[in-house]
Structure 1
């Protein structure tokens, strides 16, 4: 799916690379992240932090270019799709080596995709549509579907709950050896200290020009070190002082302070995405859809966004899942259900729904400071509506672990970039934490994903959004811009929702 031209020109989430004619080779960069990733197996996690680190180690068959179009990565070309839309023939690149020196073949791809269907939330989203995956020859894989499934290639391209390709004999559950085909390989991991990646000398880049996550991935750097810095204020000071070459996820109010620094400059992603409150629809008090609606009725999205981002330079109120500069933008279901901010009416609704004072357990983290600020505002509005609130502030790794347990929470706070294909939104999968699984979800999502006509899919997405507002598996809070920082000595790093450091180099 194409984004509107105005969006691409105005925002350029992934800009054309700023590579100089002769970038310097060598050196080590240190990247400050929001914390310690819960795993280095990107199949089993939807945490952005996992994808940011592991996209340098592992690769997928496809990825996204600077215009958010799917482009081949380990695949030689885009798939050949049969006339009935049910058979995908994928030609693989040859001469690709894993970090252990072995050659990638179709057997590795088949084994990896089957592992993805079994373990990954996005793989499980696809699994019901898959008939079989086979190796036609050492460099060809065929995927046979039970019915057409339009988002398949986009899901294969996504680095979140990713369909990474690993050696067929390294398919352990959980993963024991972290061996991929990426430009960098895992050298050392010291928990809560750093993850050290070193250049993989056997890497074979694509021949095309670099474009977003696609095209050639150059290895100018000797090493990349990802360092957990959980406290946002510490990340700000580290950016201002130039302690790190790149600092991810800064509070937006630090923009001017970083801009005034001589060591670093801010990186602005505009618009980046949306904060979201995800409900536990499977167990506990929020299993009741009427109580979920009462909670939404109580909340002021405007006050939460103002507390989280301060200036309207960094946020916008918008109940549409996609903003107006996306072809997917629709207001279906939004009227009367977004930014209601009526605790008194919510109290009446909650009582009618059978609410009896049970604690509403809200999981959040201060590593994303804007999550925590929204949680504080939400808690006060919910208390005004008569809800008992149990605000649980944990580190991000703990949150991503706890949210997989249906018995431990009622709401967790997260955020998402605006994704090029709506089927990539995690909550559409019944296996994603939240476990939204209703007849309305099935009818609307199945119709949307099985339709291959682009224009018809736009209309069908409106039905999915309406089902999301009717069933309330989540609440979108608004749109926001994201701020990071990079050293004035760092070249070749462009704004991206999941920052990547192939193509990066250090000015000598």
Structure 2
């Protein structure tokens, strides 16, 4: 049975209020639609104590400080516990934190930590560990550096208490700690393995890393001494499938227990399968395409606007993802604090698009290369963009690129147009700042607008939710004018789950949370 509804609630809408409360109690990234060598079958261990989960791409890095892909997070959430996490309703709840206080000015966070927790390597989790992780995430080579920008220092008060001081109020701070900045890695393991730590990840989570065979699988085993309840599954295997249909075939045959991204065209067939449950729920993500402002033809704003205006979002969703999405014109999905009129879409207006092409000096159109992923749905994505732009004389040449290479090309601005999306986060800042502010790590389009930078910075330090939303509304007017990214749709998270699997709870972060899983 499929439930098409928006379930998650934005915890950060109350962050401003939390700043006046003490003793509260209670857990960057581009995604592509799967881009690794295709698998047609799985040779999986048999037995009820093994769960096999498909991944639409090979995880580039299992080091939270260095990673930037959704598939990384799918594995990381089994290896690492976080300071905070999201519950099934999308609310922020403490995990490794027992309780916390926030100073009235929003600049000092005091965390009381839970006791008796150990890493997989036997070392203790304590305040020194939190200090180490915070400082590591602030280093120049960390992809978390911008998230930790306002952290001045982390002080150890006692073994179970850490005090984090910010240079100024930062509304998304707790929300950020529900993701990779809040994942606690073993300091001893980092010191032991150095740059190779990504191949030897050590956390406090429900599962222990065994091996990562690039392009094929990641294997984890149960943490026999897990602090947060019994782990019932002995082994989890994450298997790489770039072809979603092949993953579904393996789910039907019993070789897989989970499919992480069910192709929409496979959903109806799975609904009729008595052995499989389909979970299709609205999440926080968006999909679309970057237009590189530093490379012709997209140095020209009017040509970027023409491409943006020519995409019929509703038609795109019907054709490419069979209606399992919401038309998008912003990074803010329904339910987000910043969601509103900025996300409204309109049908393409032929005369408006022709006028933009004329203003851009290309009245008869132009051509560009569009980098897409290697899966069938990537190809369809590109083909539909081609067909929607062709009537205006805009010719699109498709280039199929492996997922990791796409991320690298994006970071180095080595593209004209690039198909990558974002899996979304609870706080609007986490889906906005790094993508639109000058020189930030996910600003692949290299847009640079001083007024946009100013508004984005103001929004992240404003504590009042209503005032924050007003700032994002202003910022989105500039984003629409710049058109450096074409927002097309907000994703549904689509899982296929064997009915032999029990204990699964959907969480709107799009992650398969494994700690409570069991198997009949």
TM-score range, shorter chain: 0.7 to 0.9
Q: How does 1:468-483 map to 2 (within 5 A)?
A: 468-483=479-494
CA deviation after TM superposition for structure 1 residue 324, in Å = 5.0
Identify which range, 65-74 or 475-484, moves more after superposition. Answer: 475-484
CA deviation after TM superposition for structure 1 residue 59, in Å = 2.4
**Alignment of 1:167 onto 2:181:** no
Pair 1:94–1:306, CA change in 2 (3 A): same
- For the 8 Å contact 1:42–1:54, the answer to whether it is kept is yes
Distance in 2, matches of 1:374 and 1:128, equals: 36
- For the 8 Å contact 1:321–1:465, the answer to whether it is kept is no
**Alignment of 1:75 onto 2:94:** no
Q: For 1:245, which of 250, 253, 257 is the aligned residue?
A: 257
Distance in 2, matches of 1:379 and 1:128, equals: 40
- For the 8 Å contact 2:320–2:381, the answer to whether it is kept is yes
CA deviation after TM superposition for structure 1 residue 139, in Å = 2.3
Q: For 1:231, which of 238, 243, 246 is the aligned residue?
A: 243
Distance in 1, matches of 2:442 and 2:196, equals: 18
Determine helix, strand or coil for the equivalent of 1:88.
strand
Alignment match, 1:194: 217
Determine helix, strand or coil for the equivalent of 1:135.
strand
Q: How does 1:257-276 map to 2 (within 5 A)?
A: 257-270=269-282, 273-276=285-288
Identify which range, 139-148 or 467-476, moves more after superposition. Answer: 467-476
Distance in 2, matches of 1:9 and 1:142, equals: 42
Distance in 2, matches of 1:164 and 1:202, equals: 19
**Alignment of 1:500 onto 2:516:** no
- For the 8 Å contact 1:37–1:49, the answer to whether it is kept is yes
- For the 8 Å contact 2:284–2:425, the answer to whether it is kept is no
Alignment match, 1:384: 391
CA deviation after TM superposition for structure 1 residue 228, in Å = 0.7
RMSD of aligned alpha carbons: 2.9
- For the 8 Å contact 1:344–1:384, the answer to whether it is kept is no
Q: How does 1:455-470 map to 2 (within 5 A)?
A: 455-470=466-481
**Alignment of 1:446 onto 2:457:** yes
Alignment match, 2:26: none
Distance in 2, matches of 1:122 and 1:156, equals: 14
**Alignment of 1:315 onto 2:325:** yes
TM-score, structure 2 normalization: 0.82
Q: How does 1:33-72 map to 2 (within 5 A)?
A: 33-72=55-94
Pair 1:204–1:66, CA change in 2 (3 A): same
Alignment match, 1:19: none
Alignment match, 1:20: none
Determine helix, strand or coil for the equivalent of 1:157.
coil
Determine helix, strand or coil for the equivalent of 2:209.
strand
- For the 8 Å contact 1:304–1:373, the answer to whether it is kept is no
**Alignment of 1:107 onto 2:128:** yes
CA deviation after TM superposition for structure 1 residue 392, in Å = 1.6
Q: For 2:427, which of 418, 421, 427 is the aligned residue?
A: 421
TM-score, structure 1 normalization: 0.83
Determine helix, strand or coil for the equivalent of 1:224.
strand
CA deviation after TM superposition for structure 1 residue 26, in Å = 6.8
Distance in 2, matches of 1:272 and 1:432, equals: 17
Identify which range, 291-300 or 358-367, moves more after superposition. Answer: 358-367
- For the 8 Å contact 1:62–1:72, the answer to whether it is kept is yes
Determine helix, strand or coil for the equivalent of 2:286.
strand
Determine helix, strand or coil for the equivalent of 2:97.
coil
- For the 8 Å contact 1:274–1:480, the answer to whether it is kept is yes
Alignment match, 1:140: 161
Return 5+ residue gaps in structure 1 as ranges: 1-7, 15-24, 206-216
**Deviation per CA, 1:388-423, whole angstroms, max 9, x where unpaired?**
4332222323322332221x2133223345532111
Distance in 1, matches of 2:170 and 2:284, equals: 27
Pair 1:390–1:42, CA change in 2 (3 A): farther
Count residues with an aligned counterpart: 469
Return 5+ residue gaps in structure 2 as ranges: 10-46
